Amino acid sequence: MKIAQISDLHVVAEGKTLGVAPMAENLEKVVAHINGLRPDLVLVSGDIADTGRVAEVVRAAGILAGLKAPFYVTAGNHDTRGALRQGMPAAALPAQQTAHLSYALDLPELRILALDSTDPDAPNGRICTARAAWLEAELAASKKPTLIFMHHPPLKFSVDETDRPPLEGADVLGAVVAKHSHIVRILCGHIHLFAQALWQGKLVCTAPSMGMRLHWNPNSKAVSSFLRASPAYLWHMHNEDGQIITHAFSLDDVEGPFEFS
């Protein structure tokens, strides 16, 4: 099974711009690239809109409709739940409950649990007891290999602005995650960088953004800026050995292909 993961689209409404980053145009490029590689589905791990408006979601949904594979979304801190419900097709956001936009996808090889980690008062996210209980129930319902996808990473990635404060309720989430060995990946966004770390014995991957790369320096705390970069995304494959293989694609800063010899 082949899964493309895109994140942090930050699409603005038609006629508006987001600084120097052509986010909608970048998303169009990524959609075309993904279509060429024919995944089975596409996960969109939040910050779909830049300011949470319905018009932004509608524009993003229109571009994502160009995907040949089905796509599924979860909310980021720049999104609002109401706008996502209004602007996204129901098939892309099959959340049943009203309090949060979490949902489960039962696929032949895998289960995917979209966990809504947003809170209007917590830019770096929050997992409340209700969502932890929902996750526990879903994880207990099936022992099929399971991917969790959520916007906010549950651990600090040495990115000052997203580490302080860290995800609220990470301890509650961690207690649930630690119990279930069939979680094969936790896929996140939020930090606008590709990064990986083990947490509670599970590999957490954060996806890069649509060309709005965090200006990150491991020696600096001054990180509230971004670099205009190639739009990039992750590719996860569940192979015949039962492993999840993750690759990262970056679109524009390459030439070739060239032969090795």
Question: Interface residues with Fe ion (CB under 5 A)?
Answer: 8, 47
| Virtual torsion, Cα 73, 75, 81, 84, nearest 10 deg | -40
Helices and strands (H, E) in the chain, number of each type: 6, 12
Shortest CB 212 distance to Fe ion, Å: 7
Shortest CB 190 distance to Fe ion, Å: 6
Question: Toward Fe ion, which CB reaches closer, 47 or 56?
Answer: 47
Shortest CB 95 distance to Fe ion, Å: 20
* 195-199 vs 202-206, strand pairing mode: antiparallel
Question: Toward Fe ion, which CB reaches closer, 8 or 168?
Answer: 8
Phi then psi dihedrals of residue 96, to 5 deg: -95, -40
Residue type, 53: R
Shortest CB 52 distance to Fe ion, Å: 12
Question: Toward Fe ion, which CB reaches closer, 40 or 163?
Answer: 163
Question: Toward Fe ion, which CB reaches closer, 134 or 226?
Answer: 226
Length of the chain: 261
Question: Toward Fe ion, which CB reaches closer, 47 or 168?
Answer: 47
Shortest CB 49 distance to Fe ion, Å: 10
Question: Toward Fe ion, which CB reaches closer, 8 or 116?
Answer: 8
Q: Determine the Cα–Cα distance for residues 206 and 106; give it in Å rounded to an integer.
A: 23
How is the chain split among helix, strand and coil, in percent rounded to 5?
25, 25, 50
Phi then psi dihedrals of residue 171, to 5 deg: -70, -40
| Virtual torsion, Cα 132, 137, 142, 148, nearest 10 deg | -20
Alpha-helix runs per DSSP H in 142-236: 160-163, 170-178
Shortest CB 239 distance to Fe ion, Å: 30
